[in-house]
Amino acid sequence: MNRRFSIAWWPVLAAASSFLIPWLWWKNRGFRREQALAAQQNQARLARAQLLNLPELERVEFTPLSEWARLDGFLGEPGVSYLLKSERGELVYDLGFGDQNGVFQHNSRQLGLAWRQAPLVVISHLHPDHMGGERAYRKKTVIFPQALGDTKDVECYLPAPAQEAGPRFTVAQGPMVLPGGIGTTGPLARRLFLMGWCEEQALLFRIKNKGLVVVTACTHPGIETVLTMASRLCSDPVHAIVGGMHFPLTESRLKKPGLQTIMVFGTGKPPWRRITDQDLDLAIAAINRAAPAKVFLSAHDTCDYALQRMSRELKAETEVLKAGASYRF
């Protein structure tokens, strides 16, 4: 298991302890209070949820444009962007790091994608690896990759308000059916210790004669909460679960010098607490209770150890998503 902080950081942390300890104590008070508030809000949202009028789709082709794992000839990154195509249209779920490192553009070109008018865009949550990069996160806006084409009139659905920069943004106030027949759970909350309040939305669609497909990004609110919301919105059995589960138990995909970044900032827990096997046990049990036929896991936020455990212990046929591959439902 990798150290979250290298030994080189220890003198820095020790020197800053007179500031860090009071700050962490103060931060923890707000964290515990807002943790409880997020749970209350999610319970209220679940109580209000009603069946969505999701149409049955004949087929959906699901292609990772950005992912950690990749096919030969494609680039990987610790962020995600997924293209969903059905007979009713196209949708891009998240933008990865956008143009920050060239991954989105390279992979789009490798796939032969050449949009003139951007398709519908849905942002799962407002973190840099989903909203177009670190600059987008600092500016509290969504930055669209150039490869998307003309984004002047693009429809973009967000889980929480962001600074507008021209495109037409809609904040999903709750569950809804989007253009093209794919639904959103609406925002579900989680209070992360260092990254603050997070609202995240997952996608839902129905496949004729198969059932419901649930697509997540990081599942910060917890997979049990997401699946409970999905069951309130659609009575079909779960056919497949797709996306990230955020289990950096032994290593972080995103690293800074001497720092396993996601193991510190991305767990949602205080920095003195780790994600554990017991946390993973709960997620595996929740997925097995939902009894999907297939699970497609994102490696962008989950370490190899957790992916291997899930592949062994999930009852569903399980596969790791790869940039450039196409998955058909």
Domains of the chain: 7-328 (3.60.15.10)
83 and 112 in contact (C-beta within 8 Å)? Answer: no
| CB burial of residue 98 (10 Å; 0-12, 13-18, 19+) | buried
Written as six digits, the tokens of 31 are: 């964290």
Choice between 10 and 65, residue whose per-residue pLDDT is larger:
65
Q: What is the rounded average pLDDT of the residues 145-149?
A: 93
Residue 201 has pLDDT above 80, yes or no: yes
Written as six digits, the tokens of 46 are: 């679940």
Question: Which pLDDT does position 26 carry in this prediction?
Answer: 84
Question: Which pLDDT does position 13 carry in this prediction?
Answer: 67
Residue 229 has pLDDT above 70, yes or no: yes
Question: Which pLDDT does position 27 carry in this prediction?
Answer: 83
Question: Which pLDDT does position 166 carry in this prediction?
Answer: 62
Backbone angles phi, psi at 93, to 5 degrees: -105, 105
| Average model confidence (pLDDT) across the chain | 93
Lowest mean pLDDT among 8-12, 85-89, 239-243, 245-249: 8-12
Tell me the pLDDT band of 259, cut-offs 50, 70 and 90. Answer: confident
Written as six digits, the tokens of 120 are: 């519908």
Q: Length of the chain, please?
A: 329
Residue 1 has pLDDT above 80, yes or no: no
Q: Rounded to whole angstroms, how far apart are CA atoms 195 and 198?
A: 8
272 and 21 in contact (C-beta within 8 Å)? Answer: no
273 and 35 in contact (C-beta within 8 Å)? Answer: no
Question: Which pLDDT does position 256 carry in this prediction?
Answer: 78
Q: What is the rounded average pLDDT of the residues 69-82?
A: 98
Q: Rounded to whole angstroms, how far apart are CA atoms 222 and 2?
A: 24
Q: Rounded to whole angstroms, how far apart are CA atoms 260 and 21?
A: 21
CA-CA distances (angstroms) from residue 98 to 53, 69, 80, 156? Answer: 32, 17, 10, 15
> Which of these, 42, 50, 52, lies nearest to 212 by C-alpha position?
52
Residue 303 has pLDDT above 70, yes or no: yes
297 and 245 in contact (C-beta within 8 Å)? Answer: yes
Lowest mean pLDDT among 38-52, 145-159, 245-259, 309-323: 245-259
DSSP letter at 146?
Answer: G
Q: What is the rounded average pLDDT of the residues 53-66?
A: 97
Written as six digits, the tokens of 73 are: 């000839």
